[in-house]
Structure 1
Amino acid sequence: MRRGLDHAVHLVRDLDAAGEIYDLLGFTVGSRNQHPWGTHNRIVQTPGFFIELLQVAEPAKIPPHDGAFFSFGAFCKEHLAKRGEGLAMLVLEGSDPAAEKAAFDAAGAGGFDLFDFSRQARKPDGVEVEVGFSLAFARDPVPSDMGFFTCKQRKPENFWSPQMQRHANGVTGVLGVVLVADSPADHVSFIDTFSDCSPRRATEAWYVTQTPRGAIDIMTPALFTERYGVPAPAGEGLRFAAIRFTTPGAADLRRGLMARRMIEEQIEGIAVVPPRAALGATLVFERTEEAPSA
């Protein structure tokens, strides 16, 4: 079943400082949540997609990888130590975790146990509720510097909040994510398996996968820098470079971010927040036309 974008994990060292930066960027940022294995997060929601700002807050609680057990906390701890702050994991929307695991295993892109967990969350009105998730992990057969899994919400009514999806920057949704690789063609088969959507070759240096929610672009680091005017993350295999958002107010947002010295590049129709200003991530805001009123 074709899988759309669900969320992105943005690893940071100081969760409250990261929340302040996203607030300066005009996002509504959720309160702090805790995982039972020692990571804490704060959530930035758009319809059907969110950014998970994540800190390794209690490293002593994090279990190690063990055979088929994929330790989410250990991956984040290792990635932060090796690569520093930035986008680290791409998550697609899950619907049948067992079937997704079976598909990943059959393609040589799995081998991990399913993982279910719950945690407490606080709604905008302050009421505490339980949220739950079922995860199916995947891995790129070509060694890559990012993680992948699908996520099925077990209590979506407790997680999604229209109030938390209203942002001062006017963002109305996610347009896509941008991954970089020295040889994009080497990763096309994996992205096909992971998303169940066929990548399309735009150029030798660029492949586009259109999912039910947002696009997954894979391009060379050189093309990424040419298009967005900022450096691509270094590393091996696939690297998670950027998230693209849609907003009718990109021009006003760009002026405001320039005043705060959070962007430098002048690219027609978009505002690009570089890694130096967004804790290792590149955030792209693209202009869209507002829908006509009924």
Structure 2
Amino acid sequence: MTAPNQKRFGIDHPLVTVKDHASALEGYMKMGFAPSPVSYHPWGTVTSLMMFPDNFIELIGVDDPAKFGTNAVDGFCFGRQLDSFLSRDQEGIYLVALHSKNANADDEFLRNQGLKGQGRIDFRRKMTLPDGTPDEAVVSLGLFVDPELPDASNFICQQHRPELIWVPGWQNHRMASMASRQ
């Protein structure tokens, strides 16, 4: 794993939201992407990552609506928000994660700049490494979702164990793709 060379508040990853995760993932693989194995968030969403050296694309869909509300902060729940986006017959990028190396400090900094946020979420996501070893990604988020523009908002994202995200085998895409630029 090479540590990502990300700038504070640079693009960590867009969330590409889809109705049928399995079909969309198959499409990404046909395009030549080498995604991470499917994994699940505690709030009822399913995810796969298309990794690049300094950022990634997160393909995300609804898995289990019964888990909506898990890790909710100030009424905001990722699963419910994602489902609301999809229920308007939309797919595509609905939020963008901004890179953070210290979610606590960056959350405080943005609030001191006048941004209103929903709060912070710390969570773990079970995942499997290419050799079959199970592990858990550890993530901290700071939510800054504008109620007036919920589909065009950002949140900060700190990966506490980047070696479990930037896995070399997940960066070997068959096509000549480029990392999304900041």
Alignment of 1:202-213 (within 5 A): none
* Map of 1:95 onto structure 2: 101
Provide the rounded CA distance (Å) in 1 between the counterparts of 2:92 and 2:60: 10
* Map of 2:142 onto structure 1: 136
Change in Cα spacing, 1:41 to 1:65, as seen in structure 2 (3 Å) is closer
Which whole-Å deviations, capped at 9, do the CAs of 1:23-52 have from their partners, x for residues lacking one?
Answer: 121111222101122111111111121111
Q: CA deviation at 1:65?
A: 9.3
Provide the rounded CA distance (Å) in 2 between the counterparts of 1:109 and 1:117: 23
Q: CA deviation at 1:2?
A: 3.6
Alignment of 1:146-185 (within 5 A): 146-175=152-181
Q: Secondary structure at the match of 2:141?
A: strand
Which whole-Å deviations, capped at 9, do the CAs of 1:140-172 have from their partners, x for residues lacking one?
Answer: 486353231111011111221111101111224
* Map of 2:4 onto structure 1: none
| Structure-2-length-normalised TM-score | 0.87
Q: Which segments of structure 1 move beyond 6 Å, counting only runs of 4 or more? A: 64-67
Q: CA deviation at 1:3?
A: 2.1
Change in Cα spacing, 1:132 to 1:65, as seen in structure 2 (3 Å) is closer
Provide the rounded CA distance (Å) in 1 between the counterparts of 2:165 and 2:19: 24
Provide the rounded CA distance (Å) in 1 between the counterparts of 2:23 and 2:178: 24
* Alignment pair present for 1:23 and 2:29: yes
* Map of 2:129 onto structure 1: 123
| Structure-1-length-normalised TM-score | 0.55
8 Å contact kept, 1:101–1:110: no
Change in Cα spacing, 1:174 to 1:120, as seen in structure 2 (3 Å) is same
Which whole-Å deviations, capped at 9, do the CAs of 1:46-82 have from their partners, x for residues lacking one?
Answer: 1121111111111121018967353111111111112
- Write the letter of the residue equivalent to 2:41: H
CA RMSD of aligned residues (A): 2.1
Q: CA deviation at 1:10?
A: 0.8
8 Å contact kept, 1:47–1:172: no
What's the % identity of the aligned pairs?
Answer: 32
Provide the rounded CA distance (Å) in 1 between the counterparts of 2:171 and 2:70: 35
* Map of 2:118 onto structure 1: 112
Alignment of 1:199-238 (within 5 A): 214=182
Provide the rounded CA distance (Å) in 1 between the counterparts of 2:41 and 2:170: 20
Alignment of 1:248-263 (within 5 A): none
Q: Which has the larger radius of gyration?
A: 1
- Write the letter of the residue equivalent to 1:155: R
Provide the rounded CA distance (Å) in 1 between the counterparts of 2:8 and 2:34: 29
Change in Cα spacing, 1:67 to 1:93, as seen in structure 2 (3 Å) is closer
| More displaced 10-residue stretch of structure 1: 101-110 or 165-174 | 101-110
Paired residues in the alignment total 176
Return 5+ residue gaps in structure 2 as ranges: 1-6
Provide the rounded CA distance (Å) in 2 between the counterparts of 1:135 and 1:66: 12
Q: Secondary structure at the match of 1:29?
A: coil
Q: CA deviation at 1:108?
A: 3.2
Q: Secondary structure at the match of 2:49?
A: strand
Provide the rounded CA distance (Å) in 2 between the counterparts of 1:85 and 1:65: 23
